[in-house]
Structure 1
């Protein structure tokens, strides 16, 4: 067991007498939280979260207790440790609304799940705002002018400026000011979920349940519905967006004591759609262009196409010509194509051969490609888990070693640099129909760091390019 798993097992024992069969680490999301699923002898499962950002955890605890009180579909928190860094909560399973949409397509049953989610959202936003103490928010208490400007600047610095397109900085700044003022004065200020997307809606027994709402604050109702309906990966068609927005507006109208101005409500909604689309591009730019995470890089073209669709069919009700000029410039075919990675096809001859080796035992692998193309990366600058007694007999394919490398070393930073260099070669080789590229990772024993890095690169290349790879771990005597 890793250190985290041991701590989780101890905490669980204080809450339940059920025997733990095993604890499985779950794929990490965009944040720093690490999730585990606890499997017990009674067939019950639980989710354990490890997060050293205590303030974020405290916000989650407060929001959960508050929303539970009004009957919102949020998880039960069973126990947390004294430090507030580990907690165990109800498990809603693996089926998110996005996963069901991707599996089943835009069916009537899926649309019903969206409607259930929107109705529950309206309830959480409006009823949940009553008595809510915004001092418990992680950052801002209100999604006001400063927060809106921050989202716009996030887009500017982490996405727009990376394109190096010409624009009038002074006029764009003025446009940001006009837009933030317009949305800052929006009506219907209640609790704003902030990250209400289909990945954060879990479906269990045909009902929606919400997770990851701890980043919420006071804000306009329309922001959250814009986040859900305009999520790039969901790719909802215009009819669905229109019908679901109207349904949500009706749900809101039922909960408010006075009639709403439908035209104004929709106009402000369009403004928040735009803010959300730009905030997402900023996030994709930061995670993808700066941190070099493949998932976010491949999401950029979808986000740009989403923005282009919005620019073609919707209006925000205010005049911001420089912003419109900039947005039209970044949604051209040329710019979108720039972010679409070259993909291998069935006819692509390239195979990337990836090896791990030991500098002390086998030395540099012999290059067998005709063109001699390839790389050797030295992993010895990364802390060696092999020096720790409990990891000595494990390899880079064992979970405890992987967790150590992810949390205790600069391995992810190292790999981001590797991806940047190797990606250039892979794209060039695909275009030129080269057949072989070799990438080798060496460390002291060829057991921990090099094995982990080789497997990570193979996953990256498969996800981003769909290119064929082989893996050989020389010292471990296993392939694949």
Structure 2
């Protein structure tokens, strides 16, 4: 499966969803390496291996040749599927305004709206070639995951989809949060020059937090609360639930806690568990 589309259209969430479903995922693969990658990954001994590759405007290759590379994959006896994730310009502008990420074409000196317009024009051939186009303009993360699963005919075992989302308070609370926890009182590695450029996903930052008694205690209290109440939410005919954790910058404390709580949930038997870091993803 080749995942493509507009920057900010939901490709990262889609790839994470596919990874949760057992796909071997690679993002931003140079497009000309697609046949070689598939040839190496689709080994005869790995007949059950499902592959997903993200290819978009960040790519260094000539995207106009993607049909040829897809044909080369088809010649191997496989059936590649191209899925295009789209969103209205207004939705893309809003999403970029809510994060610190830069559009991949702003390095050309373009305003964001112009960068989106140029990207849309450049991706028109892929949009026309796509086997499936998913419009994410009105979808939140839960809804997008559900749409990916249903549109692609995939299945998950859990009846309750859990999302652990990190965010920065200075950019406002996530609109779809069910539980919100404030981590701003915890030790902040932002003030350590060695840790400042890293995030809560990096081992060095994780080791820092694991050595902080306040963080260990906070994590235990929140995990205990969720162990008690998540099963009751599941029995309340809910399909989605978002646990949001905020800190000042949304980079260290909240990210670490979101990942740790997601791992704890998986250990407790929840199968449909995802993380989303608003200020990073």
Give TM class, smaller chain. 0.3 to 0.5
- Tell me the TM-score normalized by structure 1: 0.25
TM-score of the pair, normalised by structure 2: 0.43
Higher RCO (C-alpha under 8 Å, 6+ residues apart): 2
Which of 1 and 2 has greater Rg?
A: 1
